[in-house]
Structure 1
């Protein structure tokens, strides 16, 4: 039986690791975690924030998906959006999901990421 999502893997083009590191650590506030040696030889980089892990794997002929994305729950969504925007990354708000505030951003290679925070339930 499924218990949790262990990680989400996104693809990236060869040679993009330094740009990805800047976005995932500076803009998103994640920490890079070491890849196991056998996997490190393939390139890419892994990041963690709390229980959330995002793995960026190198894919020759990479093309960013236009629709597919991880949906990441955040707290303090306005401050988080401001943090991301301050690094020059795009922040696009979307009010179409009832009961949530959400926005999307893109990493430096075009991977879409969705950030959402549930609205408080009225008493």
Structure 2
């Protein structure tokens, strides 16, 4: 028996309890995701869900320590240099990543120190 993974359903990122407004600014305003309706029975848990194209990101809330982590989503973009300029213009610090053949990439951190990677296949 084997399994075949055929796609990505969603990514969950956690932010501190009560700080959804800061997360909404980063994910909805800066990254330009669109908020989508959470199922009614999950709304009591806090957080929100959002989507861009076929990518769904669930922003959960929990008591967390603010420390950088390797956890991250990696988003494919159509123009990595334009994406880099956009973040620089919005005063988001860019972290250069170790080069990978055939890929141009960088990361940044959201306000809660979740690493967010952006990449373009070249």
Both structures adopt the same fold (TM-score exceeding 0.5): yes
**TM-score, normalised to structure 2's length?**
0.87
- Counterpart residue number, 2:59: 56
Q: Which of 65, 70, 74 does residue 67 from structure 1 map onto?
A: 70
Question: Partners in 1 of 2:15 and 2:119 — Cα distance?
Answer: 23
1:74-93 alignment to 2 at 5 Å?
74-93=77-96
- Counterpart residue number, 2:44: 41
Q: Which string of whole-angstrom CA distances, capped at 9 and with x for unpartnered residues, describes residues 26-56 of structure 1?
A: 2212111121111111111111110011111
- Counterpart residue number, 2:12: 9
**TM-score, normalised to structure 1's length?**
0.87
Gaps of 5+ in 2: none
Gaps of 5+ in 1: none
Q: Which of 104, 107, 112 does residue 104 from structure 1 map onto?
A: 107
The number of aligned residues is 119
Q: CA RMSD in A?
A: 1.6
Question: Partners in 2 of 1:36 and 1:90 — Cα distance?
Answer: 34
